[in-house]
Structure 1
Amino acid sequence: MCGFVMASKQEPKFPLRLLVDKEKNQVVVAESKSDLIDILFSFLTLPLGTIIRLLSKNQHHNIHDYDDQPQEENIGCINNLYKSVENLSDGVFWNNTCKEMLLCPRNSCESVCKNLKLNLDDTKPKKYFMCGRCCRGSDLFLSTFDGASCSCGKLMDKEMKLHGDFSEEGHNNEDGVFVKKGTLYLIFNDLKVLQNSPGNSVQQLIQLGYKNFNKLTQISLNVGLNEILHLLKQSLISKSPLTDVFLANGEFKRMYTFSPKQGPKIENWTNIKLKVMVRKSKKKILYAEAEGDFIDFLFSFLTTPIGSILKQLNGNFSIGSIDNLHKSVKEFNPSWFISPLGNPLPNPKVASQFGCMKQPLKNLCEEYNHTYWYGKGVVKNHICYSNVNGVISKDKSLIKNPIAMKVFDPRSPFGKIEYALGFVKRPSLFVVWDDLHVTPFANTSSISFLHKMNVPLDDLEEHIVSIGEIEALNLLGASLTSSKDVLTEGLFHHLKKSKEEATT
């Protein structure tokens, strides 16, 4: 499902003009054409798992060595979550596909992003597969995952072309992908993007303390894949990504802020029960005992686009400068976007079948799962054209003698979408550590486990916490901003509040 991101001789380059304060050795603002702005805005469509994978690969295939900066920068504890999935055995999941989905999540804006002059996402494009045996029957399964097993026991390995879906075929990018061509755009050091105009330039430069150009100099350069990937990384950890990448002064200010959200406890069917173990003397959650629902919720962080996460947290946290990019999209004049393709950017959806089935975040949505139709031919201008291999479409009216198809869902023990539960098998028990390392607890001695922790037993206290929307938001925010104490920062104040309520 994944490919490789490496530079090539045909790698496109993008002109960029920098306005630099030489005394401070920092970029003040840059001017860019729409091609590069489209790529920057596409950052918002990337699921967290894709971002972790791309940045990890780029460290191994780096062409330019960016001086003394550390080779690996963790995004909160999301890297630990990703590594946990990598290290878990295939047997923990319903099938091999589930693990691959988490490591290489699909981008719901895939059909748009493939028109970028440089598409960072190396995930294999969506394809459609049927069972060669069952395509002659009436109970038809369709899979968007290669190598899935049909209900008859055979592999669904007959690739089908989707007929009549122009949204998945993409569009002509002569006019642009997200923003319109034919003008320049301003990119500030903190990734704030504005439409290019003298008024915007004057206003922003004055706000930054520049009354004239005496201290400023211009630098023109060409930007390629390596610089853009480095920009992606710095956008998630730094408040000055342009300076970090293009001036490489070796020092940058990390930017992480998170304020736990408060609110009334609301119980509903999506709440997930979690058992946590607290070390009283340290006022710290050591670990949680978690079943499948909570593990699926955590793992779904990897399949969620960063733009959607920023929308969910709504200013309660900040990582690097990516939130400035997100705010820029929301504040852009809609007329500058390629309508309606710019609309998903403020809140890109989770790709269909890649979400958490029991999602506490009620505003976090999957793409709509379409009904697919199969037939032995297509209908054009009221004329039927036969096709011996058969055709599939989302549009029933385009198919000759249409038969509704059943969509294969890897998150189900039976492959049927109506039985989908999540990524990991049920029943199952896991240990989630405070830093989001996840390990299975099957066949593990609890006595040995406690002995190995080497913590006084009378210093331990067990709590049951209900993970609703507020708790889920706090865990999501803490996972992106905390380097080691996600459970403590996301949940400990809820435990304290629950204990106080119980004593009153």
Structure 2
Amino acid sequence: MTNLVLMGSKQWSSCVTNSTLIDSALITSNCGKIQTMKLLLHKSMKKVLCAQVENLFVELLFSFLIIPLGTFVRLTKDNSSPVGIINLYDSISCLGDGNHLKSEAVKTMLLCPKLATEYLRVTELLPIYEGNTAPGHFLKEQARFIVSDDLEVTISQSLDIISKFNTLGVPVGDMEVLEVTVGEKEAISLLKASLTSTSALTDSLDLFRRKQKVKPST
């Protein structure tokens, strides 16, 4: 995570917990179902300041924009999901008794809508694609990105992110870099948070911590 944290400066290394910040691949793939990313945390606030990621994670986030609302509810249904959407979804059960909806196919279409045929399979972390969906990508070339807690995606520029947050009032000693893996459960948590929260990464932090990548001892 050299570009995110150090940017050629060694002065931060003694201040940041888990500071083995070598410039290695930030996201790996195991049949497309495991991704690794690095989070910059505000420790005392238990908040994610930002994440440094590469294409695969951004492809996952962008795929949220093409998911039908019915599929969103099916994947994330619980009391923290938008109430109006939940009520609409539950109403189908009442109307789908054979007396009101046109057919069982209509009920299935509303409860389990499929992606439009022109969309590509860009991630394996969400169970939203048909078996014949063609693989593809939204992004043109490999790059490194910064994702904010509210899921704003920007290109990772050559600047010292820790210095930036320190200027904004976050003490350097109160920051920590955490390397985590993301699977289907975490992806669905992020999907839900993207529609219900302005702190999607922080809302998924407990899940991230449970799957924290353990580095081999040297």
TM range (shorter): 0.7 to 0.9
Cα 1:469/1:462, change in 2 over 3 Å = same
Give unmatched runs, 5+ long, in structure 1: 1-266, 370-416
Aligned counterpart in structure 1 of residue 182 of structure 2, from 438, 462, 467 = 467
Cα 1:300/1:269, change in 2 over 3 Å = closer
Verify the 8 A CA contact 1:277 1:288 in the aligned structure 2. Answer: yes
Q: What's 1:313 paired with?
A: 76
Cα 1:355/1:456, change in 2 over 3 Å = farther
SS at match of 1:462: strand
SS at match of 2:123: coil
Give 1:337 deviation, angstroms: 2.2
Q: What's 1:86 paired with?
A: none
1:427 maps onto 2:142 in alignment: yes
Q: State the one-letter code of the partner of 2:41.
A: V
Q: State the one-letter code of the partner of 1:429.
A: R
Verify the 8 A CA contact 1:349 1:367 in the aligned structure 2. Answer: no
Verify the 8 A CA contact 1:430 1:440 in the aligned structure 2. Answer: yes
Q: State the one-letter code of the partner of 2:159.
A: S
Verify the 8 A CA contact 1:292 1:425 in the aligned structure 2. Answer: no
Give 1:351 deviation, angstroms: 1.3
Alignment of 1:367-378 (within 5 A): 368=132
Q: What's 2:3 paired with?
A: none
Q: What's 1:458 paired with?
A: 173
In the alignment, the residues of structure 1 paired with residue 44 and residue 130 of structure 2 have an alpha-carbon distance, to the nearest angstrom, of 42
Q: What's 1:344 paired with?
A: 109
Verify the 8 A CA contact 1:360 1:472 in the aligned structure 2. Answer: yes
Q: What's 1:480 paired with?
A: 195
- CA offsets, 1:394-421, max 9 Å, x none? xxxxxxxxxxxxxxxxxxxxxxx5xx44
1:360 maps onto 2:125 in alignment: yes
In the alignment, the residues of structure 2 paired with residue 342 and residue 282 of structure 1 have an alpha-carbon distance, to the nearest angstrom, of 44
1:437 maps onto 2:160 in alignment: no
In the alignment, the residues of structure 2 paired with residue 358 and residue 366 of structure 1 have an alpha-carbon distance, to the nearest angstrom, of 12
Give 1:268 deviation, angstroms: 5.9
Verify the 8 A CA contact 1:463 1:495 in the aligned structure 2. Answer: no
User: Max radius of gyration: which structure?
Assistant: 1
In the alignment, the residues of structure 1 paired with residue 79 and residue 182 of structure 2 have an alpha-carbon distance, to the nearest angstrom, of 18
In the alignment, the residues of structure 1 paired with residue 81 and residue 183 of structure 2 have an alpha-carbon distance, to the nearest angstrom, of 22
Q: What's 1:493 paired with?
A: 206
Cα 1:421/1:480, change in 2 over 3 Å = same
In the alignment, the residues of structure 2 paired with residue 470 and residue 303 of structure 1 have an alpha-carbon distance, to the nearest angstrom, of 19
Cα 1:270/1:497, change in 2 over 3 Å = closer
Verify the 8 A CA contact 2:120 2:136 in the aligned structure 1. Answer: no
SS at match of 1:287: strand
Q: State the one-letter code of the partner of 1:359.
A: E
- CA offsets, 1:335-368, max 9 Å, x none? 4322334421101011124254223123x22485
Cα 1:423/1:469, change in 2 over 3 Å = same
Give 1:481 deviation, angstroms: 1.3
Structure 1 vs Structure 2 CA RMSD: 2.6
In the alignment, the residues of structure 2 paired with residue 289 and residue 279 of structure 1 have an alpha-carbon distance, to the nearest angstrom, of 15
Cα 1:458/1:361, change in 2 over 3 Å = same
Q: State the one-letter code of the partner of 2:119.
A: F
In the alignment, the residues of structure 2 paired with residue 290 and residue 426 of structure 1 have an alpha-carbon distance, to the nearest angstrom, of 14
Aligned counterpart in structure 1 of residue 97 of structure 2, from 326, 329, 333 = 333
Cα 1:308/1:291, change in 2 over 3 Å = same
In the alignment, the residues of structure 2 paired with residue 283 and residue 485 of structure 1 have an alpha-carbon distance, to the nearest angstrom, of 12
Give unmatched runs, 5+ long, in structure 2: 1-29
Q: State the one-letter code of the partner of 1:336.
A: H
In the alignment, the residues of structure 2 paired with residue 296 and residue 305 of structure 1 have an alpha-carbon distance, to the nearest angstrom, of 17
Cα 1:459/1:421, change in 2 over 3 Å = farther
In the alignment, the residues of structure 1 paired with residue 209 and residue 98 of structure 2 have an alpha-carbon distance, to the nearest angstrom, of 45
Cα 1:315/1:278, change in 2 over 3 Å = same
Q: What's 2:59 paired with?
A: 296
SS at match of 2:41: strand
Give 1:325 deviation, angstroms: 0.9
SS at match of 1:357: coil
SS at match of 1:318: coil
Name the count of aligned residue pairs. 181
In the alignment, the residues of structure 2 paired with residue 316 and residue 270 of structure 1 have an alpha-carbon distance, to the nearest angstrom, of 27
Cα 1:277/1:359, change in 2 over 3 Å = same
Aligned counterpart in structure 1 of residue 48 of structure 2, from 285, 290, 300 = 285
Q: State the one-letter code of the partner of 1:489.
A: D
Verify the 8 A CA contact 1:352 1:367 in the aligned structure 2. Answer: no
In the alignment, the residues of structure 2 paired with residue 494 and residue 343 of structure 1 have an alpha-carbon distance, to the nearest angstrom, of 31
